[in-house]
Structure 1
Amino acid sequence: MCVKKLKEVTVWLKQCRRKDPKLNECIRDTFQNMFPWLAKGIPEIGTQQLEPMHIEKVAITKGQGGVTLQGAFNNLIVHGPSNTTALYTRMDLRRGKLDIGLFIPIIKVEAKYDLKGNILLLPLVGIGDAKLYLKNVTTHVQTRIHFPKIKDEEVMVASSMKVEFSLAIMRIHLSNLFNGNAVLGRTVNTFLNENSKEVVNELKENIGESLSGVFKKIMNDAFSHIPTKLWLIDD
């Protein structure tokens, strides 16, 4: 398989210098500049269109606490990530760390769900379609990075990632709860929306693990094909 490598600096790639005292601000601008281009896909490095984002699966496995659920959201189609704002970056080259803060004003998700368990003592059982609306999502991404050589070119690669997030509003609708029982389905959907922050807080760890895999792939699909000599310049 032919691995594409960027050959020269282009309009979507902002250059930074490793010893710049304002390196963090520069790296933030580098990410910010790339978001609109990633949304459309960048043929030069072989990245696919990011908007809408397709996520194969977000597994839910929680056996204790106020929310106990087993199952997953599958075949997620996500609109909104291309409007991401990079709030900050903190790069520590010596320790191999890169922290990123992201803000997304609106995320809309369509998916299939298969869930069974309890939400704050209320039973939830169903298989069907799910729609989610998330507003003012703030994400904090902690990344371990290293700089291997691939085909004699140094690149940046994320080896591990941890994602934490918060949001202002979540609205959700799950169809076909309790085998299509309209009364029970309406009750559970209303309860979920009235208690959305508590539900999200209970599931943050599960969701964060799934998001870390998605974000890590996006970062590596891009930066493993961009030699650091083009954007992270030695003085």
Structure 2
Amino acid sequence: MKLVFLVFVSIAVATKLPPNFKKCNRTEPDLEKCVLEAARDGLKQLTRTYKKIRLPNLEPLDVVELSARVETRLIHFSETLRNCKFWGLSRSVLEKFDEIFRFNLDEKVIKSQFIVPEVRTKCSYQIDGTIMSVPIRGKGNSSIIFKHFNVTLYVPYDEITKRNKTYGHVTSCEIDGKPESIHFQLDNLFNGDEEAGKRVNQLLNDNWSELYDDIKDDYLKMGKQMLIQLLNGFFSKLSLEEAFVFGKNIYLRLIIMIPQASNFQKCNRKQADLKQCVIKAAQDAIYQLTHPYNEVNIPNLNPFELKGATVGGGGAVAVEQRFTDCKLQGFNKMKLDKFEFDFDKKVLDVVGTFPEIVKKCTYEVDGQVLLLPVTGKGPSEIILTKVDVTSKLYFEEIKKRNKTFIKIVRSDIDMNPGHVSYKFDNLFNGDKVLGDNINQVLNDNWKEVFEDVKSGYIEIIKTIVTSLLNNFFSKVSIEEAFD
């Protein structure tokens, strides 16, 4: 969350800034390299307070109090954290300038992405409620460790003029991210009942991913409040003219220098570790797709909106399922195992797993499932978990204006979920008993049901993937996608 400050600091020349921060001049030929080095250098130095520009010490970052009340599918509790210390923020990994920072003057927005290898927090906590139907209650010391936290920020700001100077002011921001693992330790649960406390801590750690998904919005909301407070403290002391070389000219230089989709990593087709670079770039890009990138024809994937789809069955499922106004969630959380371009054979090989795909649509069905009649129209929710996907996407190369563009012309895709759950509301015109019975039959026999409709779902995935890639590569040439 501190990356924004670092880039401000790294390209500043104002006397108000501490002299030990490296500074860059916009006219130097290697400005991009200088800014990245300055950001890295500045990040390491934020282990003390800079009161003149209201930058706090990050090692540790002290937070007086945080509170949350969480009411979700798995969690019902209220929690207060006091006297918190956060370690690890100053060790955020900044790999490449155009991956970690975008400053757009016209849109008045700051976008950034970075990875924190480890965040450790220690707080006094108080909690009361249930987690996964298990009571949790206690008051004492807590320790939470987040590993490899990949964070994206989207921060719009306003400009305020005071005494002939321009200051930034932030009123809202968007934060997204998920760690690779979380470890919880809450001491003194249930008034010191050691055995009960041990069981609840084990429950938290065994189910950390599901719990994080449920508490993420509330915890990120607390993060937003912290970030807005820190940013406005910084902006209130340092005008934009003082923060940037030659006033706003540096903004224009940055906007010209950084492409609109510049936070997507690029690879060189001649580099020895091309495969590793491509899969890392693809993985990072997928995680970022929580808002649209109109300039490269990529929509928001969380959720991905689908106007309509039809899924037919054969055998056990003798019914045509018509879906409209669909929202699909989970595409941006795909974990890639393979993402390889073969430019000689003109094929893109993709293998990976979706932890969970949630499809919410308005449905209409009329037919039979496992010889039982089924009819209805209304809201539906289908959840596929641990979906393994393998695909080969065959493409052709098209030359336009001395550039080479890719077009997907054929795809072979297979998908196998670890589990599928179905919920169709308003079956049989709202007959609850019949509707509950059919939903139970679907869920008890999910494997047989899915096998019969699998080809229809694969066709939907093919359509989505082909459309996304062709939209992207219609705007971005091979020469632009690869160095």
Smaller-chain TM-score range? 0.7 to 0.9
Q: How does 1:58-207 map to 2 (within 5 A)?
A: 58-62=309-313, 64-207=314-457
Aligned to 1:44: 295
> Which structure 1 segments of 5+ residues have no match?
1-5
CA distance in 2, matches of 1:202, 1:24: 36
1:57-81 residue CA offsets vs partner (Å, 9 max, x unmatched): 221223x312211231221101111
Answer yes or no: is the 8 Å Cα contact 1:162–1:208 preserved in 2.
no
Deviation at 1:144, TM superposition (A): 0.8
CA distance in 1, matches of 2:274, 2:395: 16
SS at match of 2:322: strand
CA distance in 2, matches of 1:151, 1:116: 51
Deviation at 1:10, TM superposition (A): 2.4
AA in 1 matched with 2:387: V
CA distance in 1, matches of 2:421, 2:336: 24
CA distance in 2, matches of 1:111, 1:51: 15
Answer yes or no: is the 8 Å Cα contact 2:261–2:293 preserved in 1.
no
> Which structure 2 segments of 5+ residues have no match?
1-257
Aligned to 2:278: 27
Check 1:8–1:181 CA distance in 2 against 1; reply closer, same or farther (3 A cut). closer
SS at match of 1:199: helix
1:21-49 residue CA offsets vs partner (Å, 9 max, x unmatched): 65433332231121133332224324332
Answer yes or no: is the 8 Å Cα contact 1:16–1:27 preserved in 2.
no
Equivalent pairs counted in the alignment come to 226
Aligned to 1:14: 266
AA in 2 matched with 1:54: E
1:148-176 residue CA offsets vs partner (Å, 9 max, x unmatched): 12343212221122321111121111011
Check 1:122–1:22 CA distance in 2 against 1; reply closer, same or farther (3 A cut). farther
CA distance in 1, matches of 2:401, 2:306: 30
Residue 479 of structure 2 corresponds to residue 229 of structure 1:
yes
Answer yes or no: is the 8 Å Cα contact 2:261–2:296 preserved in 1.
no
Deviation at 1:7, TM superposition (A): 5.8
1:82-111 residue CA offsets vs partner (Å, 9 max, x unmatched): 111111124322222112112111222210
Answer yes or no: is the 8 Å Cα contact 1:16–1:231 preserved in 2.
no
Q: TM-score, structure 2 length as denominator?
A: 0.44
The share of aligned pairs that are identical, in percent, is 22
AA in 1 matched with 2:337: L
AA in 1 matched with 2:441: F
CA distance in 1, matches of 2:420, 2:268: 37
Answer yes or no: is the 8 Å Cα contact 2:325–2:362 preserved in 1.
yes
SS at match of 1:220: helix
1:95-129 residue CA offsets vs partner (Å, 9 max, x unmatched): 22112112111222210111122222222111111
CA distance in 2, matches of 1:75, 1:180: 21
Aligned partner (choices 55, 65, 69) of residue 306 of structure 2: 55
AA in 1 matched with 2:330: G
Check 1:153–1:102 CA distance in 2 against 1; reply closer, same or farther (3 A cut). same
Per mean C-alpha deviation after superposition, the further-off stretch among 160-169 and 181-190 is 160-169
AA in 2 matched with 1:39: T
SS at match of 1:223: helix
AA in 1 matched with 2:282: F
Aligned-residue RMSD, C-alpha: 2.1
CA distance in 1, matches of 2:340, 2:347: 8
Check 1:227–1:182 CA distance in 2 against 1; reply closer, same or farther (3 A cut). same
Deviation at 1:145, TM superposition (A): 0.9
Answer yes or no: is the 8 Å Cα contact 1:14–1:29 preserved in 2.
no
CA distance in 2, matches of 1:147, 1:20: 22
Deviation at 1:216, TM superposition (A): 0.6
Answer yes or no: is the 8 Å Cα contact 2:267–2:274 preserved in 1.
no
Answer yes or no: is the 8 Å Cα contact 1:106–1:136 preserved in 2.
yes
CA distance in 2, matches of 1:38, 1:125: 36
Aligned to 1:219: 469
AA in 1 matched with 2:307: E
Aligned to 1:3: none
Answer yes or no: is the 8 Å Cα contact 1:83–1:104 preserved in 2.
yes
SS at match of 1:163: strand
